[in-house]
Structure 1
């Protein structure tokens, strides 16, 4: 669903208000912030965001607004158009891990046939450590959110708060993240002392033209 500039600004206003105050604004507060003459104008734009799957509204509550999970917009749009509306969340390293960027940059409409698994979100690749697997700098990789992965699968992993995409090499006595470029070294994980987690599985990619 296409959002107007006002609706995009309203979505960001909701996120910031919840981050700062811990609860959503009322419709009256939204109307005041955006210069709407009536609360029904705020309601109209809120309902548009709900139709897009970006928020959830609870009737009968003054602050009955909840931000939807990233996958909710994709599911809502997919049912109407056959396309997945997948949020682009930030960057992921194909090399040395880089810091994550959790802010939603934009929603991208994609053909689900591009992916082997359903993507919950997209990350933009930086670095060349996965070249032999066809993952290039600037590619948008789909990530299927799951904390579990099998040996040999390509995963997005979080190491000390930073994200990287690599092949998983796990065994009874070792845990490595393997590059697919001989110029890059494997990353050895000591689970006893390293803050490490599997964020998801590589689901496929889109190469922007």
Structure 2
């Protein structure tokens, strides 16, 4: 089936983008490149390309366009080449400490997971995600129901946003970390109505640093 000039422009841009960057463009990037201001018009043309067998779309992923080998110029790019699945291990609430995955952990071992593209998530090593419960970090633009992506690490710096396990209280909390002295750590909320939490380092276990936030709209 023949493509219209606009559909050919869209297809050619996707092909060049994938060859240059190794992952597909977003709908907005496509629209900007081919002078289409409406995302719905881009979506319409992508649907036609899919119907005609030039691409496959995964609507659950923001860069979910996969080229198919219909044209000799096109090269299929598998979803695993640009998508990483991150296990969602629980919620940050008053609960048991979050089990941190080791190097051999597979996202398939978790009951739930989220998918992010590799251009967004370039971190190496074990990472995991948690669902935020509560509004203690609203001034950091982290709201109830958002997903935070965490990375365990050996050291943490003042101002890092961390998941902190309070051993005596048996609670997990999402706060900014500040080491004020050898005997006191301040866990600072980003909500003017809430007071900071002061703890002795021996009562604290940092379970990971926030490296990304997935907002629930």
Q: TM-score, normalised by structure 2?
A: 0.52
Measure the CA separation in 1 of the matches of 2:97 and 2:207.
11
1:66-102 alpha-carbon deviations (Å, 9 max, x no partner)? xxxxxxxxxxxx9933111100000014xxx444465
Please show how residues 3-18 of structure 1 align to structure 2 within 5 Å.
Answer: none
The aligned residue for residue 201 of structure 2 is 191
Instruction: Give the superposed CA RMSD.
Output: 2.6
Aligned-partner Cα distance in 1 for 2:123–2:139: 21
Determine helix, strand or coil for the equivalent of 1:151.
Answer: coil
Q: For structure 1, list consecutive stretches of 5 or more residues without a partner in the other structure.
A: 1-77
Task: Report the Cα distance in structure 2 between the residues aligned to 1:156 and 1:188, rounded to whole angstroms.
Answer: 15
Partner of 2:211: 203
Gaps of 5+ in 2: 1-77, 100-108
2:84 and 2:208 map into 1 onto residues whose CA distance is 18
Q: What SS does structure 2 have at the residue aligned with 1:90?
A: strand
* Equivalent pair of 2:132/2:146 in contact (CA under 8 Å): yes
The whole-number CA distance in structure 2 between the counterparts of 1:179 and 1:109 is 28
Aligned partners of 2:193 and 2:117: how far apart in 1? 34
State the match for 2:135 in structure 1. 128
d(CA) in 2 for partners of 1:165 and 1:140?
A: 12
Instruction: Identify the match of residue 115 of structure 2 among 103, 109, 126.
Output: 109
SS state of the match for residue 201, structure 1? strand
**Which digits, 9 at most, give the CA deviation of each residue in 1:125-168, with x for residues without a partner?**
00101000001000000001114200111111111243211011
- Bigger Rg, structure 1 or 2: 2
| 1:177 equivalent in structure 2 | 187
* Alignment map for 1:128-167 (pairs within 5 Å): 128-160=135-167, 161-167=170-176
More helix by share: 1
Cα distance in 1, alignment partners of residues 178 and 115 from structure 2: 33
* Deviation, structure 1 residue 208: 2.9
Distance verdict in 2 for CA 1:165–1:183, change over 3 Å = same
Aligned residue number for residue 80 of structure 1: 80
